[in-house]
Chain A
Amino acid sequence: MSKKVDIKVTVNGKLYERSVEPRMLLSDFIRHELGLTGTHTGCEHGVCGTCTVWFDGEPVRSCLMFAVQADGHEVHTVESLGTPDNLHPLQQAFMEKHALQCGFCTPGMLMTFAHFIQRHPNPTDEEIREAMAGNLCRCTGYENIVEAVKLAAQRMAGK
């Protein structure tokens, strides 16, 4: 075991001070140190996208970063989007279009697309699918996710 390092990380707007081993993955830090278990891990080798969070505003694989690297940085997780009683428009669209089944990949999908919509306010099906290539889902066949992203984009653009 190597020496622990003190870090300060802002997650969903809240500052957390923790002491962690350098090898602790950011995904494990978020889940098990901070108890923000909405972020999931599915492969821990950077393909499935389930652990996607925002790091300084950009989506990253939290399984491919160490928590120490987040020292002084900002992280956003799915818990920052909406609450059960006040869903984010993307979450609302996922529900309406039945874009989730088991829901395990969903937090990663949401963090990918909440960012994607900012960059692509009027996305095509092809753009959505390309953007989704970094997130695996075993349940939905993806079609309803495409529909949900389109619906959310329209609503967020005020159309």
Chain B
Amino acid sequence: MTTEVKTKVIGKSVWRNEDPRLLTGMAQFVDDIELPGMLHAAFYRSDYAHARIKSIDVSAARARPGVVAVYTAEDFGDYWHVGPLQVPPPLAIKGAQFNARPLVPIAKDKVRYSGEPLAVVLAESRYIAEDALADIYADLEPLPAVTDMEKALEPGAPLVHDDLGTNLAADVYQQVGDYEAAKAKADVVIARRFFKDRCAGGAMENRGIVCAWDEKAQKMTVWCGTQAPIPMRNAIAKNLGLSEDQVRLVIPFIGGGFGPKVMTSMPDDVLLPWLSRKLNRPIKWIEDRRENFLATTSERDQIHYAEIALTKDGKILGVKDVFYHNTGAYDPYGMTVPLNTQTHTLGQYDVPNFYTQIKMVFTNKMVVTPVRGAGRNYGVFVMERLMDLAAKELKMDPVEIRMKNLIQPHQLPYKTGIIGQDFVENVLDSGDYPASLKKAVEMIGYEKFVKEEQPRLRAEGKWVGIGVVNFVEGTAVGPYEGARVTVGNNGKVVVLTGCSTQGQAHFTTFAQLVAEQLGVDVKDVHVTTGDTDQFHWGAGTFASRGITVAGSAVYAAATKVRAKALSLASKLLETPEEELELADGVVRVADLPSKFIPLGELAMKANPTRGTIEPGVEPGLEATAYYAPPHGATGYGTNAIILEVDKETFDVKIRRFVFVHDCGTVVNPMVAEAQIHGGVQMGIGTAFFEQLVYDDNGQLLNASFQDYLMPKATDMPMKMELGHLSVPSPLNPLGLKGLGEAGAIPPPAAYAQAIENAIHDVDFEILDMPLNPSRLYELVKAARKK
């Protein structure tokens, strides 16, 4: 009986608690906050990517009516400080070299990327603040910029950080087995150079912050759409020399995160709270779209020199991958992105010998930190491309060669021997990889397409191709998350966690986990994700970890509350616990539903105002719990697509789009599917539309939605056909695995394979991403000339 009740809540596509407010314009986002006496900030940013600062004249700006203050690095005096690193260096990896150059809040002496702030204006309105930017004169001596990762490491290259004497930010290698020995035995070795360029996080809501110092209370309140409330709160407290409880970070609704909003110690959250305290006035800064393109972190941008060694029957003996990772002007986020690349390169494949080396490079481009997919997609792209090239060389079918090399279910959990972003060895914890590939192949009708449809379409002169690629998605890394669950006197339940939410439906999925245990309506569970005065432990929402790490903590806390409720109700109803059930907001005798006590009443009784409570019993129907995984849980899947390339315009149209994935137990299928949908949009974007184009001087050439092409509804497949596998993770009680980034990972690899397959009459290779029609045209043209 009990089990059936449970399945009623977890695993059900419950409508979202947050939607009525979001749909009616009643949800508060950071720019919706208005405070009396609030000042508006605007940053004066460098047009040059690399320049020495000779002087900055802000006198005219200060004199402008409506301007309250203008600050340069000098004006911040001793408060100006570097860093800190948000993610520590990978000391767990033997021999790792890492040169920490965290962000500076505002440029001093030197500018290192175009868009770096040189001054901040505080004015009575954003309009006036922007007027004042035009009054500022910065005398900058331009320096030669370095943007190319390989050139940056050549002797004599301009130095981004002069004191370092090199542009090498990090050099980290890891290996399993002996690649060179394996290569010596191989029948076939294929080596290529691959490149993947940058994309923007592109949240529809730009970044923003509101901070207000209360002089009487000696307290700083900050509203910010951050993915990492607690780390930001702690950083602000440290910066200002306050104790943590003097800083309250409140997370309003967030208009999408996608990675860049995990950053703290950015100019805004370092400088503006300090200014608010100094001027004793609230300050608002809302980034505009141009600033978002220029000066909010972005990602991708790696060059790989990769090779694969195989036997003649297609068994992989080893893989070697030496890659350059462009960290941009600073490296505040440590090595999360390239370490993700290292742990994801081999994907689902059983490869006994692997050598992987990161050369992380400073350049005069914007700083790189994780963006949905976060390094995983390059590893997957490189490996899947190597598989395709090998299949071609060995005249094997791309699906066949993949099937031949998959890690088998009995090999799981599979220790990869590679240390990941969480500084522990990467373990593929659960799954059935062959089942995923088989399912995708069946869903897309691979056999029928290749044998019947494709020949027919080719005879009609069409360029129609198929691509099938595999991927893994490391999710749900530590360190931990926590949650407090409280039943109120009104019978409603409050859930608090420090893991903020950017659209992932946590207000509903966390509520489902609680409703499961407490037998209340999902609507009666109110979730607060990120108010540090209410709950102040946690790391944040990133790495597809929300539902798994925070969700497991929520579930554990709810489980404790359930136990408390049963224990107390058992006494009050004079019935053994095992004869009680929690349902419909009451605890009742299962066989005698008329004998019950409402949860609200129970909560009141659990918190008596007079009398005594038994020793060892904590008051209240409340509990706090934490969940800390030993290592991440690994989702995986297969992406199969059929697309058509226009023979004249080289535009690409998707005809079929199949996506098979496994995220373990699914809390809310509707939400899970939509996470894939959104990820796929970015995956398609980075395959064919989205590219932040920098010139050799480090200037971003497309800092607007006019020139930066984010996929629109008309660019997406008409239908994303999803296939679900559900192998529970052994790492947490519910068997959860994350999936937020899955969709963003494989599409570039799938596009490459399918496009090569479509343009069957030209011998060419796709080694760089993203593509666009012109680039495809040029590739084909060059191949035809040969």
Contacts and interface: CB of A to CB of B under 8 A. Distances in A.
**Per the CB under 8 Å rule, do A and B touch in the complex?**
yes
Interface of A: 1, 21, 23-24, 31-32, 35-45, 47-48, 50, 77-79, 81-85, 87, 91, 94-96, 98, 100-107, 110, 125, 128-130, 132-133, 135-146
Given A42-B206, A136-B710, A103 B23 contact: yes
Interface stretch (B1-9, B252-260, B644-652): B252-260
Nearest to B679: A141
B19 A24 contact: no
B24 A141 contact: no
Given A1-B66, A84-B21, 13 more contacts: A38-B26, A42-B289, A79-B24, A95-B15, A101-B503, A101-B674, A132-B712, A132-B713, A136-B204, A139-B678, A140-B674, A141-B677, A143-B677
A67 to B, nearest CB: 12
A129 B713 contact: yes
B756 interface: no
B25 interface: yes
A54 to B, nearest CB: 14
B18 interface: yes
Nearest to B743: A141
B204 A95 contact: no
A62 to B, nearest CB: 13
Nearest to B717: A143
B27 interface: yes
Nearest to B25: A38
B300 to A, nearest CB: 16
Q: Would you call the interface of chain B mostly helix, strand, loop, or mixed?
A: loop
A82 B681 contact: no
Given A21-B127, A137-B204, A102 B254 contact: yes
B127 A24 contact: yes
Interface string B311-323: 0000000000000
B505 interface: yes
Contacts of A81: 24
Interface residues of B, number: 61
B713 A98 contact: no
B289 A45 contact: yes
B411 interface: no
Contacts of B65: 1
B594 interface: no
Contacts of A78: 23-25
Interface in B676-694: 676-682
19 contacts: A37-B32, A39-B25, A41-B31, A42-B204, A42-B206, A47-B704, A48-B705, A78-B23, A87-B24, A96-B15, A98-B16, A98-B670, A100-B19, A102-B203, A102-B253, A125-B718, A139-B256, A140-B681, A142-B712
Contacts of B680: 141
B159 interface: no
Interface in B701-717: 704-706, 710, 712-714, 716
Contact of A141 (B21, B34, B681): B681
B236 interface: no
B289 A143 contact: no
A125 to B, nearest CB: 6
Nearest to B669: A98
Contacts of B679: 141
A40 B205 contact: yes
B576 interface: no
A49 to B, nearest CB: 9
A117 to B, nearest CB: 15
B714 A82 contact: no
A79 B19 CA distance: 14
B20 A102 contact: no
Contacts of A143: 677, 716, 719-720
Nearest to B286: A41
Contacts of B59: none
Contacts of A142: 677, 681, 712-713, 716
Contacts of A85: 20
Given A140-B678, A143-B719, A144-B674, A103 B705 contact: no
Nearest to A97: B670
Shortest 4 CB-CB contacts between residues of A and residues of B? A38-B25, A104-B255, A102-B503, A103-B22
Nearest to A145: B713
B28 interface: yes
B128 interface: yes
B32 A106 contact: no
A81 to B, nearest CB: 7
A34 to B, nearest CB: 11
A140 B677 contact: yes
A103 B255 contact: yes
Interface in B226-282: 253-258
A12 to B, nearest CB: 10
A40 B255 contact: yes
A145 B681 CA distance: 14
A138 B22 contact: no
B506 to A, nearest CB: 11
B28 to A, nearest CB: 7
Contacts of A130: 713-714
Contact of A95 (B16, B29, B674): B16
Contact of B128 (A1, A39, A47, A137): A1
A144 B31 CA distance: 27
Nearest to B13: A98
Nearest to B126: A28
A94 to B, nearest CB: 6
A152 B16 CA distance: 18
